[in-house]
């Protein structure tokens, strides 16, 4: 027998409920079909959302054993193989407010999506007769991001949102900002880039969990990095984030090729770094930081090759 422990919420209290299934009740079924089976045969009060049942609409995101999945695109048999167990915990997506059982409130995330203007504002030179065309190559550049079905799996896994969601948006929001800003027909990428910056573009912590769990293989982390480069190239260079990116570049290319934590902090935050003197003293005492690092160090072996590699990456990004 298999056991599904489902995290439930009745509007007032959170509790868990276990459902027992015979092997034939879930053999060959998806997680969504298994939830439907429970609803139809054991508990009509169980709430969850789904629509297309074929990994297109993005409505059925839930967590199994703490990891976000599309319920309609995940087989129970595969879960048994992955976890080597037939007991699973099914929970609502994390980093969303729970409305009922596995149903979460999407309105704040949709509001964030509205902020970055996901609909294209086309260049004025397109004629009414010709329409708003683009070449296959231009479309290919953004087609991966078009695959995003806004299921929320990336947001559920996002460590930044878990730590503090007040200065950050859901990772898929930045993916859509990148997609529309890089559409060859878009009039002004900054229409999408500016709200992405004010919505926390520079606050991504690079944990890569969004990329790990996206059911469509999209890396919002990469899109965030590319969007940062785009907004900097368009002149949005104020703030700690751009300063940190520039300091990284200076350390690697113009200086020794070593990331020098002391100079990196000074170049990024200037004198306000002094506010963290206490932490610096602790690091010094523990032998984790060398004060002489502020004067730099020997250039690393192979520095020329590193510079060439970075320049080649720059050139490739411009193509
Ligand atoms: S029900 Fe539409 S993506 Fe799963």
- The CATH homologous superfamily to which domain 2-103 belongs is Beta-grasp domain (3.10.20.30)
Q: Which residue has the higher pLDDT, 274 or 148?
A: 148
pLDDT grade, residue 293 (50/70/90)? Answer: low
pLDDT for position 295: 67
Residue with tokens 């090729």: 257
Would the pLDDT of 19 be above 80?
A: yes
For residue 61, give the ligand 1 atom closest to its CA. Answer: 4
For residue 149, give the ligand 1 atom closest to its CA. Answer: 3
For residue 70, give the ligand 1 atom closest to its CA. Answer: 4
HSE-up of residue 67 (Cα within 13 Å, Cβ side): 14
Closest of 180, 181, 178 to residue 190, by C-alpha: 181
pLDDT for position 273: 67
Q: Is 60 in the pocket of ligand 1 (CB under 6 A)?
A: yes
Would the pLDDT of 50 be above 90?
A: yes
Residues 298-307 have a mean pLDDT of 84
pLDDT digits (tens, 9 = 90+) for 177-212: 999 999 999 999 999 999 999 999 999 999 999 999
Could you give the residue ranges of the DSSP H alpha helices within 117-219? Answer: 136-146, 153-157, 159-163, 171-181, 190-198, 209-213
Would the pLDDT of 111 be above 90?
A: yes
Say which residues have a Cβ less than 8 Å from residue 79's Cβ, sequence separation at least 6.
31, 64, 88
Interval between CA 214 and ligand 1 midpoint (Å)? 14
| Mean pLDDT computed over every residue of the chain | 91
- Architecture label for domain 106-233: Orthogonal Bundle (1.10)
Distance CA 236, CA 244 (A): 13
* Ligand 1 pocket test, candidate residues 30, 53, 69, 152, most atoms within 8 A of CB: 53
Domain ranges of the chain: 2-103, 106-233, 240-318
Q: What residue ranges in the chain does DSSP mark as E strands?
A: 2-9, 14-21, 61-64, 67-70, 87-91, 98-100, 103-104
pLDDT for position 183: 96
Q: Is 55 in the pocket of ligand 1 (CB under 6 A)?
A: yes
For residue 49, give the ligand 1 atom closest to its CA. Answer: 1
Q: Is 39 in the pocket of ligand 1 (CB under 6 A)?
A: no
């Amino acid at each position: 027998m298999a056991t599904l422990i489902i995290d439930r919420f009745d509007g007032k209290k959170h509790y868990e409920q276990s459902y027992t299934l015979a092997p034939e009740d879930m053999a060959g079924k998806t997680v969504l079909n298994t939830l439907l089976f429970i609803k139809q045969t054991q508990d009509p009060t169980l709430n969850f959302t789904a629509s297309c049942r074929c990994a297109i609409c993005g409505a059925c995101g839930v967590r199994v054993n703490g990891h976000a999945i599309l319920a309609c695109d995940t087989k129970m048999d595969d879960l048994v193989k992955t976890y080597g167990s037939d007991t699973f915990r099914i929970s609502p997506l994390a980093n969303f407010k729970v409305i009922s059982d596995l149903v979460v409130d999407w309105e704040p995330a949709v509001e964030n999506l509205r902020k970055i203007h996901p609909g294209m504002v086309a260049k004025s030179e397109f004629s009414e007769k010709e329409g708003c065309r683009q070449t296959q190559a231009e479309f290919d550049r953004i087609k991966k991001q078009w695959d995003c079905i806004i299921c929320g799996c990336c947001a559920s896994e996002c460590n930044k949102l878990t730590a503090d969601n007040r200065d950050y948006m859901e990772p898929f929001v930045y993916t859509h900002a990148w997609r529309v800003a890089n559409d060859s027909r878009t009039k002004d990428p900054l229409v999408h880039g500016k709200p992405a910056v004010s919505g926390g573009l520079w606050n991504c912590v690079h944990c890569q969990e969004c990329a790990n769990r996206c059911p469509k293989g999209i890396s919002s982390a990469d899109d965030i990095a590319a969007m940062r480069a785009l907004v900097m190239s368009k002149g949005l260079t104020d703030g700690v984030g751009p300063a940190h990116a520039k300091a990284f570049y200076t350390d690697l290319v113009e200086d020794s090729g070593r990331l020098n934590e002391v100079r990196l902090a000074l170049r990024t935050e200037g004198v306000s770094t002094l506010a963290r003197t206490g932490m610096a003293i602790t690091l010094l005492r523990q032998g984790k930081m060398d004060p002489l690092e502020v004067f730099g160090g020997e250039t690393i072996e192979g520095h020329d090759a590193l510079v060439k590699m970075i320049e080649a990456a720059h050139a490739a990004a411009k193509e």
